[in-house]
Amino acid sequence: MLKDTNVKIQENLDRLVKSFQKVLYEDDTIFLENMKDKNLAGDDISKYQFWEWTQGVGLYGLWKLFEQTKNQEYLNILLKYYKERIETGLPSKNINTCAPMLALSYVAEHTENEEFLKLCQEWAEWIMTGLPKTKEGGFQHITSDTLNEQELWDDTLVMTVLFLANYGRITNNKTYIEEAKYQFLIHIKYLTDKNTGLWYHGWTFNGNHNFTKALWGRGNCWATIAIPEFLNMIPCETSFRKFLTAALTFQIEGLAKYQEENGMWHTLIDDSDSYVETSATCGFAYGILRSVHLGLVDKSYEACALKALEPVLGYITEDGIVNQVSYGTAMGRDTKQFYKDIEIKSMPYGQALAILFLMETQVAK
């Protein structure tokens, strides 16, 4: 049975990679239409087509696959993508367009490509000096179409902070690393729900509140992923490591409580009337497994993560498309119903998070 499961996982990983290569170059017509009216930088919107957070998460998944398997095919996909995008010209810098830089920083380090390294330096320095900051020095979640003035979002940790930390590690830039550490602290301070350990989608210093207090699924999974990735990336002093690990454990305890019997999580984690959602489920399962494998949380949580395996595999089609994925989600500012109404749509990050989860199931085997 275990052998059959491993074969099934590998077959699905192969499908996901092939599918991701296609969706990596597909137009997101909804996003592009929105950008016609709301492009903050006034750039040629074609530059944003294939360089956004939706691609960035997937590129990181491909890097992790290459790192684990040493399969040159995965590295070649990354090299082709980055060379094409640089030749075309990159869009303006914001939180979400920083997302592809994380995988690029690893590729730059591995290949010692000077052009890639120079680009990483440029974007890291912009994060430090050009990115708008909130009160208390948080990274304002400015996107391609919205300023989100004085707002902290949980997405920021994966989209921007991990890149800054990794490039700080590569260049031994302690200023970058310390800034990344601070961003984890301020996001934990303002986004953690003290009752459940789960994370609110956002916080605004304009009024000092957590909007609708939504415990949104995919937003939470960015935290579940970011904390173990960061602690594995950066050697941290005992007190900081202890603080982040405690926050992670608190969140995972909440996730275990709200997991459905079938292994999935809802798009609003604590609301069983909201639909179950695959990208968040994959993110939670990956983050939990990763945390177990790194020794950050108790091994008993492994069963919680693996419980999601069968339903996730069931949502992957023969063509490698991941179904039951919610579309890109802005801040719900009025009611929690906003999250329930988000369209279900195949997106690159669906494949990406499924790749990360399925890949991590093989680590302990």
Burial class of 14 by CB neighbour count within 10 A (0 to 12, 13 to 18, 19+): exposed
Residue with tokens 């956002």: 202
Q: In this predicted structure, what is the pLDDT of residue 144? A: 83
What CATH number is given to the structural domain containing 309? 1.50.10.10
Number of domains in the chain: 1
| Cα–Cα dist 220/211, whole Å | 15
Q: In this predicted structure, what is the pLDDT of residue 237? A: 86
Per-residue pLDDT of the chain (365 residues; tens, 9 = 90+): 455 788 899 999 999 999 988 877 776 666 666 656 677 666 666 677 788 888 999 899 999 999 999 999 999 999 999 999 999 999 999 999 999 999 999 999 999 999 999 999 999 999 999 999 999 999 999 998 889 999 999 999 999 999 999 999 999 999 999 999 999 999 999 999 999 999 999 999 999 999 999 999 999 999 999 999 999 999 988 999 999 999 999 999 999 999 999 999 999 999 999 999 999 999 999 999 999 999 999 999 999 999 999 999 999 999 999 999 999 999 999 999 999 999 999 888 999 999 999 999 988 54
What are the structure tokens assigned to 149, written together? 């003035």
What are the structure tokens assigned to 64, written together? 């992790």
| Cα–Cα dist 180/194, whole Å | 23
Q: In this predicted structure, what is the pLDDT of residue 35? A: 59
Q: In this predicted structure, what is the pLDDT of residue 42? A: 67
Residue 160: give the domain boundaries: 2-198+207-361
Q: In this predicted structure, what is the pLDDT of residue 27? A: 67
| Cα–Cα dist 81/68, whole Å | 20
Tell me which residue of 139, 73, 66, 71 sits closest to 109, measured CA to CA. 66
Q: In this predicted structure, what is the pLDDT of residue 48? A: 76
User: Is the model's pTM score more than 0.85?
Assistant: yes
How does DSSP classify residue 161? I
* DSSP letter for each residue of 291-333: HHHTTSS-GGGHHHHHTTHHHHHHTB-TTSPBPS-BPP-----
CA distances from 83 to 67, 95, 139, 184, 228 (A): 20, 22, 29, 31, 30
Task: Decide: 340 and 12 in contact? Cβ < 8 Å.
Answer: no
Residue 151 β-bridge partners: 204
Q: In this predicted structure, what is the pLDDT of residue 1? A: 46
CA distances from 94 to 20, 46, 131, 152 (A): 24, 16, 7, 14
